[in-house]
Chains A and B, each alone.
Chain A
């Protein structure tokens, strides 16, 4: 049954946001892509993203997931610089 906006906002206010949980979920998704395409995410990002080959549904989603993973890791560990060429 559809939530009302009030119910939705109440549920949001009760969320215990966890970066560890986010990392776990994003890692799982990245690993699914890596198994499917037999390619590590770092290699995929360097080789495919920014080229016309990126123009497939899985690759667009994979790239978004990878960037998001890096954002969370940077936030979690206060990394000043992302490893060279990663993003």
Chain B
């Protein structure tokens, strides 16, 4: 098996944090809660976590992809992409850690390089790399769109 018990525990803790975040911040459908353990199972066996959840009220969807690795016993995100789509499946915002952008759209150095976010206008902005910050930003967009 790819990961030992300690590493599996770290992945489970990470997946629980994401589950709690999505459950508390948004309104995922019932199936989300049923299917979630199978997503964790894939993460535990491959280090790849993939979540696509449609938000019941608005028709928007959130995609979360994370690739896990370990530095000694600490779980690290080797790569990630977080996306918010509208009901027509158009990307609204996206955060990722690809190192292809050094500066934001104003020409300032990214504060948490290589983490960055493509905003509603497609502009590159600084981003912390924290999924909680992405969720917060999604909530703000959804609140504005829902009035």
A interface residues, Cβ below 8 angstroms from B: 1-3, 5, 8-9, 11-12, 15, 17-19, 21-22, 25-26, 29, 52, 54-55, 57, 60-61, 63-65, 67-69, 71-72, 75
On whether the beta carbons of B33 and A3 are closer than 8 Å, the reply is yes
On whether the beta carbons of A15 and B44 are closer than 8 Å, the reply is yes
The CA of A38 and the CA of B43, in the complex, are separated in Å by: 27
Which of B92-100, B103-111, B128-136, B137-145 sits within the interface? B92-100
Known pairs A3-B19, A12-B12; A67 contacts B67 (CB<8 A): yes
On whether the beta carbons of B48 and A26 are closer than 8 Å, the reply is yes
The CA of A66 and the CA of B103, in the complex, are separated in Å by: 28
Contacts of B65 in A (CB 8 A): 60-61, 64
Closest residue on chain B to residue A60 by CB atoms: B81
Known pairs A9-B12, A57-B63, A75-B1; A21 contacts B41 (CB<8 A): yes
The residues in B between 1 and 27 inclusive whose CB is less than 8 angstroms from any CB of A are 1-2, 12, 16, 19-20, 23
The 3 A-B pairs with the shortest beta carbon distances in the complex, nearest first, are A68-B48, A22-B45, A75-B2
Size of the chain B interface, CB-CB below 8 angstroms: 33
On whether the beta carbons of B81 and A68 are closer than 8 Å, the reply is no
Contacts of A71 in B (CB 8 A): 2, 46-47
Known pairs A17-B44, A52-B100; A8 contacts B79 (CB<8 A): no
What DSSP secondary structure best describes chain A's contact surface? Answer: helix
On whether the beta carbons of B41 and A55 are closer than 8 Å, the reply is no
Given contacts A21-B45, A60-B81, A68-B46, 16 further A-B contacts (CB under 8 A): A2-B33, A8-B37, A9-B16, A22-B45, A55-B96, A55-B100, A57-B63, A57-B81, A60-B65, A61-B63, A61-B81, A64-B65, A65-B50, A71-B2, A71-B46, A71-B47
Contacts of B1 in A (CB 8 A): 17, 19, 75
Most chain A CB inside 10 Å of its own CB: which residue of B48, B79, B96 = B48
Contacts of A60 in B (CB 8 A): 65, 79, 81, 96, 98
